[in-house]
Amino acid sequence: MNYRIGKCFTFDAAHCLPSLPADHKCSRLHGHTYTVEIVLSAASLTPPGFVTDFGELRPLRQYLDTTMDHQHLNKVLDIEPTSENLARHIADWFRANVEPTIPARLETVRVHETPTSWAEYQAPKP
């Protein structure tokens, strides 16, 4: 049996999707209050009974704050900033920069553009 935990982070940013037709509303510059939800798992708990200490996820909070918060995402990322691409980008960053330092494994990253719409990336199993 696996234990799972989740943590949500938010940031505000603008983007546009220039590959869409000019008359599509998302081709124009607009903004969102994004919510990034991560799910981590572990086969066993570390003392005092954690999958991982939520405080160990602080580097992700710092990355989102310094790289994406109040930014024009098209200018700070090398990808077209769809929710799907953001979820993959954040997962890749997390797996390279945070996962090696914690006892848990990243399962999924979900990016919400609005309270009712989201995209999810499932990290590959090792």
The tokens for 13 are 């940013």
Is there a catalytic annotation at residue 26? yes
Q: Where are the beta strands (DSSP E) in 16-78?
A: 30-42, 71-72
Is there a catalytic annotation at residue 120? no
Q: Provide CB contacts within 8 A for 111, sequence distance 6+.
A: 34, 35, 36, 37, 83, 84, 86, 87, 90, 118, 119, 120
Radius of gyration of the chain (CA): 16
Residue tagged active-site, from 16, 89, 99, 113: 113
Residue tagged active-site, from 26, 56, 72, 80: 26
Is there a catalytic annotation at residue 30? no
The tokens for 78 are 């090398």
Residue tagged active-site, from 8, 24, 30, 70: 70
Active-site annotation, residues: 26, 70, 113
